[in-house]
Amino acid sequence: MKEVRLHGRGGQGAVTSAELVAIAAIDEGRYAQAFPSFGPERRGAPVMAFIRVSGDQIRTREKVYHPDIVMVLDSSLPSLVDVAAGMKEDGIVILNSAMSEKELRKEYGFKCKLAMVDANTIAREVIGLPITNTTMLGALLKATGIVGMDAMDKALEHRFGRLAEKNKAAMRRAYDETVVIK
Amino acid sequence: MAKRVGIEVSIAIAEAVKLADADVIPAYPITPQTHIVEHLSELVANGELDAEFIPVESEHAAMSACCGASAAGARTFTSSSSQGLSLMSEILYIPSTMRLPIVMVVANRALSAPISIWNDHQDIMVQRDIGWIQTFAENGQEAVDLTLHAFRVAEDRKVSLPMIVNIDGFTLSHVIEPIEIPDQEEVDKFLPPFKPRYKLDPRKPISMGPVGVPEVYTEAKVALDNALKASKRVVLKAWDEFAEIFGRKYNPVETYRTEDAEVLLVTMGSISETAMTAVDAMRDSGQKVGLVRIRLWRPFPSVEFRKAAGKAKVLAVIDRCLPPGAVCGPVGEELRSLFYKVPGAPKIFSFVAGLGGRDVTVERFEEIVDKAKAYAKRRPKELYEVIGVREK
């Protein structure tokens, strides 16, 4: 079982991202859960969302305390929130950042595996809005392979209808541009 | 063929109500039930469900409208939570004695104060004695299945009682997970059209719910009690039929790894899944621990529970509700009564956990089992214990 914690800000679509990954995994015939950090919704405030993906039935309703994967949608969050808190030893943090590996490690003290992509630029150029949730899905797929691109495409098409194409394109570009450091 | 999809549990429940072809849905939105009635209002508005959706002015009005609709012979559904359920309270006792088969999904949530939108079972335990049949769902699939089951049981002429399906707010209502959405054809096979024995009809006038003078009130209440107890046969029969059609079998009490167990955890609702994981972990470390989950809360399945848990030495009962000043939580109290003076009965220890959205983790279950084992050797000072209270 893989456990994922997403960090974003209210309104950035972290919950939507989590839902889309779970839907894609279930569509691939596996088991998955997605849920928000339940609470009042406040635009701009740091929020979390959680995903579990497994080949077997998932029998837990706990929040995710020890993620295998952490994905951060907002580049300003690592200075506010300890995004790597509780992560499993072999875990990876996937960041929306224009910084290099060296800069990230120096600035935030990351000791774990990292993956990063400048999702702000991609989202602005491809979607036309600085909303990075679907863009960052490309980074997640590249860094972890947690679901396949086909199932992810289908989930995006189902959710966004005619707006899906731009989101798919942004996801693909992020997939190509994500740097994974193991 | 039924379709397995990744879907939010609330949306899936609304889809089940659509498959049940409900006629009238009076509802007032309240977190965390909102997505259920929102989706139902959409289904009605876009013509996918041919029903009257009544956006009432309060939960009190919602349940009042439910009574009227059901009395007129309509298949009636509503949903509520917490403060909303409390506001319904005055009306909740009425459809049970009036034998109106309303179906309600309660997305369980804590009660104020302090204000909490998060999950526990206080809202429904306040309404324990309303005379409705009540089940608790462990996961999203069950929430869907029990909703369909509720219509089938409630409207059965041998039952004719309102029924609540309890689902944990947020921890079930807001989770996306795989759910098999049944086929319309299969649902139609399982759930016949609602044909009430009596209904309000101007062509054939009758009175419903008139005053119960002292000469008849006791008999009316005894009739309800008898009907509620007798409903268990139909609850079970409908689960058998459900299994035949949909391939998923439900029981009023479920066991997990109870063979040779010395300590049994007792749970209701979605913490049962985490409890199974905890039991696996404790079994792996050589502890003889099992789990009993109560699915049918009212009428209480006494025979089934005794059979499932009677041989254990220790029961660690977990309530998601803290009734101030009581002897212990309502589930603990129920089981202590059930086993009172029964020879060889298990020792029962009552715990309260998971109030107002506090997570009940695997570690918490392990802590509860450790405590229950210790108390079996040396009686605790208190009759119940609240787990995980922060001291600072």
Per-residue confidence (pLDDT) for residue B2, from 0 to 100: 85
The CA distance from A119 to the nearest CA of chain B, in Å, is 26
Domains B3-246 and B253-386 share a fold: yes
CATH number for B3-246 (one of 3.40.50.970, 1.10.1200.10, 3.40.640.10, 3.20.20.70): it is 3.40.50.970
A 10 A CB-CB count for A103 gives 12
A 10 A CB-CB count for B308 gives 22
Q: How confident is the model at residue A182 (pLDDT cuts 50, 70, 90)?
A: confident
Q: How confident is the model at residue A57 (pLDDT cuts 50, 70, 90)?
A: very high
Structure tokens at B147: 């909703």
Q: Is B361 an 8 Å CB contact of chain A? A: yes
Structure tokens at B176: 């996306």
The CA distance from B274 to the nearest CA of chain A, in Å, is 4
The CA distance from B106 to the nearest CA of chain A, in Å, is 18
For residues B200 and A62, the answer to whether their CB atoms sit within 8 Å is no
Nearest by CB: B274 against A38, A62, A65: A62
Q: Is A40 an 8 Å CB contact of chain B? A: yes
**Chain-chain contact of A36 with B171 (C-beta, under 8 angstroms):** no
Per-residue confidence (pLDDT) for residue B310, from 0 to 100: 79
CATH architecture, range A2-181: 3-Layer(aba) Sandwich (3.40)
Per-residue confidence (pLDDT) for residue B392, from 0 to 100: 81
The pTM of the full predicted model, rounded to 2 decimals, is 0.97
Per-residue confidence (pLDDT) for residue B275, from 0 to 100: 98
For residues A13 and A134, the answer to whether their CB atoms sit within 8 Å is yes
Residues of B in contact with A40 (CB under 8 A): 117
A 10 A CB-CB count for A43 gives 9
Per-residue confidence (pLDDT) for residue A38, from 0 to 100: 72
Angstrom distance (rounded) from CA B224 to CA B100: 11
Return all residues near A10 (Cβ < 8 A) that are at least 6 apart: A41, A42, A43, A44, A45, A47
pLDDT value at A37 more than 90? no
The full set of domain ranges for chain A reads: 2-181
Instruction: Write down the residue that tokens 């079930």 correspond to.
Output: B172
**Chain-chain contact of A62 with B362 (C-beta, under 8 angstroms):** yes
> Angle at which helices B302-309 and B330-338 pack, to 10 degrees?
80
Per-residue confidence (pLDDT) for residue B390, from 0 to 100: 94
pLDDT value at A106 more than 80? yes
Angstrom distance (rounded) from CA B199 to CA B53: 20
Q: How confident is the model at residue A93 (pLDDT cuts 50, 70, 90)?
A: very high
For residues A155 and A24, the answer to whether their CB atoms sit within 8 Å is yes
**Chain-chain contact of B362 with A34 (C-beta, under 8 angstroms):** no
pLDDT value at A40 more than 90? no
The full set of domain ranges for chain B reads: 3-246, 253-386
- Residue of chain B whose alpha carbon sits nearest to that of A155: B6
Helix (H) / strand (E) containing A135? helix A133-144
Residues of chain B with pLDDT under 70: none
**Angle, CA B380 vertex, CA B376 and CA B385 arms, to 5°:** 110
Nearest by CB: A36 against B4, B7, B174: B174
Residues of B in contact with A18 (CB under 8 A): 176
Report the mean per-residue pLDDT for chain A: 96
Residue range A123-138: mean pLDDT, rounded: 96
Angstrom distance (rounded) from CA A82 to CA A136: 19
- Residue of chain A whose alpha carbon sits nearest to that of B354: A62
Angstrom distance (rounded) from CA B351 to CA B328: 8
For residues A63 and A6, the answer to whether their CB atoms sit within 8 Å is no
Q: Is B277 an 8 Å CB contact of chain A? A: yes
Residues forming beta bridges with residue B270, ordered by sequence position? none
Per-residue confidence (pLDDT) for residue B110, from 0 to 100: 98
Fold adopted by B253-386: Rossmann fold (3.40.50)
Q: Are strands B347-352 and B384-386 parallel, antiparallel or unpaired?
A: parallel
Residues of B in contact with A58 (CB under 8 A): 177, 273
**Chain-chain contact of B6 with A31 (C-beta, under 8 angstroms):** no
Which residue type, as a one-letter code, is found at position B38?
A: E
**Chain-chain contact of A19 with B176 (C-beta, under 8 angstroms):** yes
**Chain-chain contact of A35 with B4 (C-beta, under 8 angstroms):** no
Per-residue confidence (pLDDT) for residue A43, from 0 to 100: 87
Helix (H) / strand (E) containing A180? strand A179-181
Return all residues near A40 (Cβ < 8 A) that are at least 6 apart: B117
Q: Is A32 an 8 Å CB contact of chain B? A: yes
Question: Per residue, what are the HEC states of chain B?
Answer: CCEEEEEEHHHHHHHHHHHCCCCEEEECCCCCCHHHHHHHHHHHHCCCCCCEEEECCCHHHHHHHHHHHHHCCCCEEEEECHHHHHHHHHHHHHHHHCCCCCEEEEEECCCCCCCCCCCCCHHHHHCCCCCCEEEECCCHHHHHHHHHHHHHHHHCCCCCCCEEEEEECCCCCCCEEEEEECCHHHHHHHCCCCCCCCCCCCCCCCCCCCCCCHHHHHHHHHHHHHHHHHHHHHHHHHHHHHHHHHCCCCCCEEEECCCCCCEEEEECCCHHHHHHHHHHHHHHCCCCEEEEEECEEECCCHHHHHHHHCCCCEEEEEECCCCCCCCCCHHHHHHHHHCCCCCCCCEEEEEECCHHHCCCCHHHHHHHHHHHHHHHHCCCCCCEEECCCCCC
**Chain-chain contact of B178 with A31 (C-beta, under 8 angstroms):** yes
For residues B73 and B199, the answer to whether their CB atoms sit within 8 Å is yes
Residue range A160-166: mean pLDDT, rounded: 96
Angstrom distance (rounded) from CA B244 to CA B247: 6
